[in-house]
Amino acid sequence: MFKKLHNEAFISYKLKTVSPLYIGSHNEDSLNPNAVDNSFLTVYRDGNPVPVLPGTSLKGVLRSNSEKILEGSCDPLRNNCGKKVDRKKDDGTARYKKSCPVCKLFGSTALKSRILFGDAYPEGEYKIGARKSVAIDRITGAAKGSALFDFEYVEDALFKGNIQIQNFFKWHIKLLIDLFERINEGYIVFGGFTSKGFGRMKLEEFNIVLRYYDKSKCSNEYIDKGFYMEKKIETFEDIKNLLQNILLTKNETDRCEYNEKAI
């Protein structure tokens, strides 16, 4: 079944590393001292290895932090919203209504995610460093004797990425604004060794393109592109000011219908 597309938001951002960043090529959580190497996760672009900040990592970090911001969020591991849904009877709207705010945006086992995170890649120059660390037991969190292993990290990099939201509400964008502010403040960090100060990042650039398919919902600030109306907001401050009156309350996140005016 195809869902009607009302609107889309396309966000482009650049995050600069403030401290070293380690995204393991095996698994972020498993700092396995027996692994052959603990190099930074890379992909090949034009035949050259390039470090990557995977969209799935970003989504995971931002989702778990959204659970702290939004009241009434489920615990995805225990009582996730997917379990509340009657898969035979509930249509998309019913599934959405039964979901907590975080699942409404990030999806669950019963609801498709509305937000897509692309992989982020460095723009321009960056540095690769290497350090030794004590191996950590994954279960106990204690140091495994004095065994040292090498790992690689990225420094002085500017990661460029994008986020897309389909059928968004204002509070979805507001949530992202809050999350990026927490990144800037150092409350949200990425990758491994964060207890050693790794993984801090800062927003350098942010812009958003809003697209509406129902032209009657758009103010005259939107440009008619034929099948849709579009508006670009160039800076983080501008979008923050536009959404300053939106509060991340239950009242706001419970909205289900597309009866809002365009921002």
Q: Least distance (Å) from Zn ion to the CB of residue 84?
A: 8
> From CA 125, how far away is CA 104, in angstroms rounded?
38
Stretch that binds Zn ion, among 35-43, 97-105, 118-126, 128-136 (CB under 5 A): 97-105
Q: Which long-range contacts (CB under 8 A, 24 or more apart) does 241-248 make?
A: 243/170, 243/173, 243/174, 243/177, 246/170, 246/171, 246/174, 248/69, 248/70, 248/71, 248/101, 248/171, 248/174, 248/175, 248/178
Which residues from 101-160 bind Zn ion, rule CB under 5 A?
A: 103
Q: Least distance (Å) from Zn ion to the CB of residue 102?
A: 5
> Which of 38, 99 has the CB closer to Zn ion?
99
> From CA 158, how far away is CA 17, in angstroms rounded?
6
> Which of 175, 208 has the CB closer to Zn ion?
175
Stretch that binds Zn ion, among 49-57, 96-104, 158-166, 173-181 (CB under 5 A): 96-104
> From CA 112, how far away is CA 181, in angstroms rounded?
26
Q: Least distance (Å) from Zn ion to the CB of residue 87?
A: 16
CA 126 to chain centre: 22
Q: Least distance (Å) from Zn ion to the CB of residue 135?
A: 35
- Considering only 100, 110, 210, 218, the residue that binds Zn ion (CB under 5 A) is 100
> From CA 87, how far away is CA 117, in angstroms rounded?
27
- Considering only 9, 23, 74, 175, the residue that binds Zn ion (CB under 5 A) is 74
Instruction: Please give the residue ranges that form the binding site for Zn ion (CB under 5 A).
Output: 74, 81, 100, 103
